[in-house]
């Protein structure tokens, strides 16, 4: 008579333990899901900022932008050509 009672008690303890483990795991997963959602929103914001910065780099590195900034700084386009000649190296003589 003691074996069935002992078996029922052990089964009850196992069921209660597994139920508690399930609650803890479910809570952990839901918290992780919330954090994942926040991270995905942050990633979207950073991707937008990255696209804007990439566009700004392309605009500021364009030749027309560089030429206009050089003109503002006082640089002028050279009207004459400058040719630099160097003597041939000794090995080619």
Candidate from 2-16, 49-63, 75-89 with smallest mean pLDDT: 75-89
d(CA 55, CA 44): 17
Position 13 scores a pLDDT of 96
* Rounded alpha-carbon distances, angstroms, from residue 91 to 84, 85, 87, 88: 20, 17, 11, 8
Q: Model confidence over 49-61: pLDDT tens digits?
A: 999 999 999 998 8
């Amino acid at each position: 008579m003691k074996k069935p009672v002992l078996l029922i008690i052990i089964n009850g303890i196992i069921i209660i333990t597994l139920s508690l483990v399930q609650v803890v795991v479910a809570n952990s997963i839901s918290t992780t899901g919330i954090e994942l959602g926040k991270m995905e929103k942050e990633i979207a914001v950073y991707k937008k900022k990255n696209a804007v910065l990439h566009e700004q780099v392309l605009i500021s590195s364009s030749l027309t932008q560089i030429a206009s900034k050089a003109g503002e700084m006082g640089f002028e386009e050279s009207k004459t050509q400058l040719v630099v000649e160097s003597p041939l190296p000794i090995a080619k003589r």
